[in-house]
Structure 1
Amino acid sequence: MLSLLYDESGDIDYTELTLSYMSFFTLEKFQNLLNTTQNGAAHSSSGIELSVLVKNVITSLCFCIIQLTLFCFFRTIFKFLYQPRCCCVPISQRMEPLPKGLLSWILPTLKNETHFYLAMGLDAYFFVRFISILLLFFLSVGFLNMFVLIPLNLTGKDSQHSATGLDRLSLSNISVSKVGRLNGHFVMSLLTIVCFHWVLIYELQSFVRIRQAYLQSKKHKSHLIHKTLLISNLPYYGKDGTLLKTILLVIPGGVQRIWYVNDFQGICTATKKAKEALQYLEQAEMKYLCAYMKKYTVNNDRRSIDYNGSRKTLIHNPTLADESLYPLFYPPIYLPTFKLPYSNTLLDLRLPSFLRLFLFQKRVHMIDWSLQQLEECQKTIDHFKILQAEDKLPKLDKVFVQFESQTSAYIAHQCLLSQIQGNLDITSIEVHPHDILWSNLLHENSTVSIFEKYLVVILSTLIIILYVVPVSFIGLISQLPLLTQLIPSMRWIYRLPEEIRDSISSFLPAVLLSILTDILLITFRCLTYYKRKLTGAQLEIDLQKWYFAFLFVQQFLVVTILTSIIVVFKQIVEQPTSIPILLAANLPKAATFFFQYISLKAFAFCGNKFLRLDELFLHFTWYKIKDITPRQRFYRLITLPRVNWGSVYPVFSVYGSIGLAYCLISPLISVFITFILSLALLYYKYSLKYIYNHINISETYGRLYPIALFNLYTGIYCLEFCLIGIFFSLKNNQGICPMKIQGTIMLIVLLLTIFGNISIYQRYVNHFSYLPILSDKDPSELDPGSRFRSPKENADELSLNSNSFYLNQAMFYSHPSFKYEKPKIWLPKDHLSESDREIKRLIEKSSVLQGGSTKGAKIEVLEKFKKFRLSVTEAAPDYK
């Protein structure tokens, strides 16, 4: 169809498109590189038959079915893993367990209404809504495009042109002699674009209404968090609390309380060492208890055999602890802290304890060392607490200010608080105390900090661009002839059976790409942290933008257009008008690749997410070794996984963009998009209710949702550019462009889309972060009541009452180290009552312990006294 864009071999010819001022490079190899046709990797799937597609995904389907079957079987056995919200949280917060049948969990999960997830925060609610809206869009508009366009595409061939395989169902099957059929695509494109904008505006209006009602509900706005502002760039005179309150009297209601951010590095280091010493102490006591029980039981066993060979029970005579059973060890090596240049940060390093072996040092008594370390740390902690009480600790340039009301806090948030540029000019509101990135609060807004932020932006951009290099190498694995040609030593692969070779070329690249993508996600999260975001919520918002850009460029554009990012960048910069031609030439040929890609992603997502094989494996391996003490086991069981929404929203924004880009070019894409969205909706409806922690400390209050909606514009732009390229480049046998009018109209539609994008964003952007002071609605409408909570709980109440220090508002926004208290040792109860006696001895020996308990933990001897079983039934004695 697009004969202008193809050379005699059928590949896309970029020779003319790449002629430019860069021709001053006279190296022949460099010119050959630029003039080489470098098609995207997705083109290799062009024209595949349905049978081939089924063959490629059948293995993934089988794995998915096996994983889901195992999940259905394990779900009621390992409740702590597959439905921890039913057993690993306080009784008042538990969900009602699902029926025990293998498939009896599906219908109750799907019946959960979307508004139920409001109890878990706006981020969770709007994500479920996001998936639901995308699903509804592709079920309606997407399937309408299928019913209208697939018959046009299927019958669009003639004797001179006919596509192959699944491409017969796409726009690629329309021949020049039947070019009039493209009018159907033109009309449906207008309908699709209009429907997209209608859904976008409707959802943005719903977002504003729901967010405002949620934030202004009585339950929400009455809490301290929602009346407090984090203010940065505090000038020197602002460090006087009385003066700062006077300055802020201009805000209606004035200031209720101020929390200065004191230099917490010294007490933070001491607290970390104290917690580690407590861990060593309890581990040492566990080792001692096991050794003591084993020694006593073995001795008892030797003396309790009567003449008939039967056992007799001997009365245990408690004595003082056996010194021969106390463990010895090499303590960790703590290095002196030192300050980093051009920074307020103190670097606290430690070396592995085994290095003491090379220094010819002797092992020390583990319990004695732990108690001594606790005493030293407690002295340091008490010293810093006294300094804080006497207001003698240095104050940083950050301060938390509680205002009279939520309205007052938002007024201050939306205003410039100082006439001097650079003073009191950065504010954050709705900050959860557990969400504060304390180490970033240490950094002032200096030149070094600004340079660091721009450096991170440059590195992130380079990662997005250069990621194509490792992807290209991984792509070689799927092309065995090319791989063995480049690496002759790999020719042994051809001695393997064909099925194994196909599996290697199909699955190994996918696994490697998945691992590489996960590594890149961790890298982006780390880089975003070094932008010195002050809260986890701010980090998630920034990560969402960069991660979407990465996924869209690398998982869509690169595999669709060219593996050479240099050529793409060169054409876009030097010849922007070639973008429609570029997309028109490449998108249709890559359609069937995304059928396979989305199918494999759907099966892998569903199976892996539900089964949680990694956690199941760790439970039977690493956790058996790691969980030595009752405290370690208790905290692992109650620490439910949390959703990092900043890395979840972009994944489905990319799927939605791919669906929008192809919904007219190859309408069959709607089936596959609907499939993966349905599985995602099933998983998240289940996991948000029964697996994930209901308290989202990095709650953005829905600000991720409009960003995800606007990200969908990338799919619309790709669609419009592609259609413009097709309409203008297509010529009939007489050399005339019959779709010039449609192309002109589509160009106007593109300009209107850009204008609409900008206008809609400017209209709603202030509602993403701010709250209206006035309302033209009935006040009763602003308290949605039960709509914003599940039948058993309220998210705000849980988040604010989960820890007792919230009750002491004087320490609410102080660093957690200032809230440290003397610990209570927790040992499991044993049948010899040695743990009770050991706790008593420790308390008498050292005043650094607040007490101890054996309640809620028990240790038993198993398998003829060779193994021990530790069980935990209640919370730790100092758990709050």
Structure 2
Amino acid sequence: MDMDFADLNRTISAAAGKAQKSQGLSVQSFLASLAVYGSICVAVLIFEQSRQSPDRNVSRLSSGWHAWFSRLPKLSLDEELITEQGMDGYFFLRLLRTALKMFLPLTAIIIPLLLPLDLTAGASAAGLDKLSWANLQMGQIARFWGHLVAALVVVAYVCYILVSEFRELIRIRQVYLLKSCHSQHQSARIVLVTDIPKSKLHEDTLARDYARFNGGPVKIWINRDVSSLTRIVEKRNRLVCKLEAVLTEELRQTRKSLLKRFRKDSDGRTPMSIARDIQDLNKKITQQQKDIKSFRKLPSAFLQFADPVTAHQVQQVVADSVPLSMVPHMIAADNDVIWSNLSLRWWQRFIKKLIIVGCVIGLTVFWVVPIALTGLLSQVVYLDGKIAWVQRLSDSALGRMWLGLIQGLVPQLLLSILMVLFPEILLALVRRQGQVTRSAIELSLQGHYFVFLFLQVFLVVSISSSITTVIPEVLNNLQSAPSILAKNVPKASDYFYSYLLLQAVTQCALSLRQLPNAIWQWLLMLLWAQTPRKNWSCITQRSMMRWGLVYPVFTNLACICKFVF
């Protein structure tokens, strides 16, 4: 390979705009991507259609390929669906329906009007650029006016759909608060209040402060620092698991007739000694539970109100004149509270959040490096004459076909792998923010992940100049940002055709089959579940759906579709 470092550096530096470099993407590359992704999609759909099981925790659709599609327009406040999948799952279906309502009519009306307008412009654009306004020539004012009118129609229609959905969201929320399926849950009537001043950390004082809300709370629980008791319980649980593991191994060895006496654990202890330690810990736990008032009070409390509407009203009101005091939190489920974070003060949570946000911003910015490396493959045709194997492939028809596959398929596959890796790192960081509820973690995760996806998947790969050049230009003149995007986004549309196809297939497969969770559960069963307790845990306790990682992916795809239009 006779490619020097300067050539490699120039290639990586330009990778910030690799989508722009994909202008002129050949029809061959696009059709190759379409064939591969389409085959995968059809295979997944056929597989799912053939193995629908009646024992799933969802209502089975009517037979036929059109059954799911015909039900989407009728999606309303479905109590059965909400009971089975929760409000998050219900609104995710509404998100998909909203995307269909946006882009199906636009595809049916706008594209047939604009394609002839661009195709007959007569410019020298190549490949798929002939179908976009990159094929227009200077002076063709009437054709540019056609694109402008179409853009205004798209913006107006999208705004109309969004306003309609926001109104429907408010209506559904109000109706859901009064539904019996929601109000019967005790968590719907409970509000967690954190950062309570010491002067108000009394049940009588809290009852008096909240008395104006429908008579006040019917029950009040002030949280206490039971960390010492928690440590004893955790130690007891570890010993129980150890005892179970030792006895299970003893049964295995006895069954094989290889061992006829009690087997010792790694610490040299017998099952009887472990059992005695468990009994001692049970006595300590029982003793501390009887004297619960001896534990130190924490600056937080749970308030239970008469109905969910009152609890919802409490969340909307500032209860104290001191900033960051008496902060209310809605409890989304019975297991929503993160007990270990209740002891944190507001300033501790603030510092944790500040540090984590800084880490996320730094990671988001520097993640461009591995993403930029995928630009090497998206620009492989430009390395002709610099890399020997690229030169050899370019000299034959079969080699050029392989180059088309590499340029149209592999970069998006590598980009998708990087997109799978980042959420796990982000989730580990967000969990350390000090949030008191798991639902707050999901909301924080959703916001950070969407910003990352929009910056890295759309903006970074769309801007043709290097990042080091664009950022100073935008900072010096903020008004230049629209012109930069207006110059480069139209050229990037070819790249996103392949990317949207890939995401449509991968997200379909990942969502329907839950592949990461299935693989993880299989590994746990193979390597970790060596006792009946662990085996039962793997089978019955499914991984919680991380909606904070699901919503941003589809929202970002919708944003890309909007800009491509």
| Partner residue in 2 for 1:280 | 242
Select 1:464's aligned residue among 364, 368, 380.
Answer: 364
SS at match of 2:221: strand
Task: Report SS of the residue matched to 1:86.
Answer: coil
2:381·2:403 contact (CA, 8 Å) conserved in 1?
no
183-192 or 246-255, larger mean C-alpha shift: 246-255
Query: In structure 2, what is the Cα distance between the partners aligned to 1:152 and 1:502?
Result: 28
State the Cα distance separating 1:561 from its structure 2 match: 0.6
* Structure 1 segments unaligned to the other structure (5+ residues): 1-28, 77-82, 88-93, 299-321, 332-362, 664-880
Structure 1 residues 214 and 575: CA distance shift in structure 2, 3 A: same
Q: CA RMSD in A?
A: 3.3
1:450–1:621 CA distance, 2 compared to 1 (3 A): closer
Higher RCO (Cα < 8 Å, 6 or more apart): 2
Aligned length: 545
Separation (CA, whole Å) in 1 of partners of 2:418 and 2:15: 23
Equivalent position of 1:265 in the other structure: 227
Please list, as runs of the form range in 1=range in 2, the aligned pairs for 1:570-719 lying within 5 A after superposition.
570-613=472-515, 623-663=525-565
Task: Give the superposition deviation at 1:623.
Answer: 1.7
Identical positions, percent: 25
1:208-256 CA distances to partner (integer Å, 9 max, x unpaired)? 1111101122442354222221111112133332333234334331221
CA distance in 2, matches of 1:458, 1:529: 14
Distance 1:371 1:601, change over 3 A: same
Q: Secondary structure at the match of 1:255?
A: coil
TM-score (norm 1): 0.57
**Structure 1 partner of 2:263:** 327
Letter in 2 for 1:439: S
* Cα distance in 1 between the residues matched to 2:42 and 2:184: 48
Match of 1:45, as an amino acid? S
**Amino acid of the residue matched to residue 399 of structure 1?**
A
User: When you count helix as a share of all residues, which structure comes out higher?
Assistant: 2
AA partner of residue 279 (structure 2) = E
| Residues 65 and 607 in structure 1, CA contact (< 8 A), matched pair in contact too | no
Provide the secondary structure at the position in 1 that maps to 2:223.
strand
Cα distance in 2 for partners of 1:407, 1:652 equals: 31
- Give, in whole Å, the separation in 2 of the partners of 1:505 and 1:167: 16
Once residues 517 and 154 of structure 2 are traced to their aligned partners in structure 1, the CA distance between those partners, rounded to angstroms, is 43
**Counterpart code for 2:276:** Q
Deviation at 1:436, TM superposition (A): 0.9
Q: CA deviation at 1:168?
A: 1.2
Native 8 Å contact 1:50 1:165 kept in 2: yes
Partner residue in 2 for 1:86: 55
Verify the 8 A CA contact 2:222 2:298 in the aligned structure 1. Answer: yes
Deviations 1:150-179 (A, max 9, x none): 12111222xxx3322211111111222422
Please give the TM-score of this superposition, normalised by the length of structure 2: 0.86
Cα 1:518–1:483, aligned 2, differ >3 Å: closer, same or farther?
Answer: farther
Task: State how far apart, in whole Å, the 2-side matches of 1:461 and 1:209 are.
Answer: 36
Residue 187 (structure 2) aligns with: 225
* Number of the residue aligned with 2:354: 454
- Look up the equivalent residue of 1:53 and give its one-letter code: F
Distance 1:523 1:151 in 2: 46
Match of 1:733 in 2: none
Kindly provide the amino acid, as one letter, of the partner of residue 143 in structure 2: R
- Alignment correspondent of 1:778: none
Residue 595 of structure 1: CA displacement? 0.8
For 1:500 and 1:622, locate their aligned partners in 2 and report how far apart those are by CA, in whole Å. Answer: 39
Q: For 1:431-471, what per-residue CA distance to the aligned partner results, in whole angstroms no more than 9, with x for missing partners?
A: 4230112222121112x432332222222222222221221
Cα distance in structure 1, aligned partners of 2:366 and 2:523? 38
1:307 paired residue number? none
Q: Is the 8 A contact 1:551 1:651 kept in 2?
A: yes
Q: Which residue among 348, 368, 382 is the counterpart of 2:286?
A: 382
**Which residue in 2 is equivalent to 1:51?**
28
Gaps of 5+ in 2: 1-5
Amino acid at match of 2:82: L
- The answer to whether the 8 A contact 2:378-2:411 is kept is yes
Larger radius of gyration: 1
1:259–1:401 Cα contact (<8 Å) kept: yes
CA distance in 1, matches of 2:211, 2:510: 55
* 1:287 to 1:70, Cα distance in 2 relative to 1, 3 A: farther
Contact 1:67 1:608 in 2 (8 A): no
State the distance in 2 between where 1:494 and 1:329 align.
Answer: 63
Report if the CA contact (8 A) 1:253-1:405 is conserved.
no
CA distance in 2, matches of 1:240, 1:58: 67
Aligned residue number for residue 318 of structure 1: none
Partner-residue secondary structure (3-state), 1:329: coil
Equivalents in 1 of 2:310, 2:281: separation in Å? 41
Query: 1:114 maps to what in 2?
Result: 75
1:178 aligns with 2:140: yes
Q: Could you say which residue in structure 1 is the equivalent of 2:3?
A: none
| CA–CA distance in structure 2, aligned partners of residues 477 and 67 of structure 1 | 28
* SS of equivalent to 1:231: strand
User: Pick from 287, 293, 299: which aligns with 2:255?
Assistant: 293
The residue type paired with residue 554 of structure 1 is Q
Cα distance per residue 1:633-658 (max 9 Å; x no partner): 32322223432111111111111111
In structure 2, do the counterparts of structure 1 residues 106 and 330 end up closer, same or farther at CA, with 3 Å as the change threshold?
Answer: farther
Question: Is the alpha carbon distance of 1:97 and 1:280 closer, same or farther for their aligned partners in structure 2, counting shifts above 3 Å?
Answer: farther
Q: How does 1:397-436 map to 2 (within 5 A)?
A: 397-424=299-326, 426-436=327-337
Q: Which residue of 2 aligns with 1:372?
A: 276
Please list, as runs of the form range in 1=range in 2, the aligned pairs for 1:122-521 lying within 5 A after superposition.
Answer: 122-157=87-122, 161-295=123-257, 324-331=260-267, 363-365=268-270, 367-388=271-292, 391-424=293-326, 426-446=327-347, 448-479=348-379, 498=399, 509-521=411-423
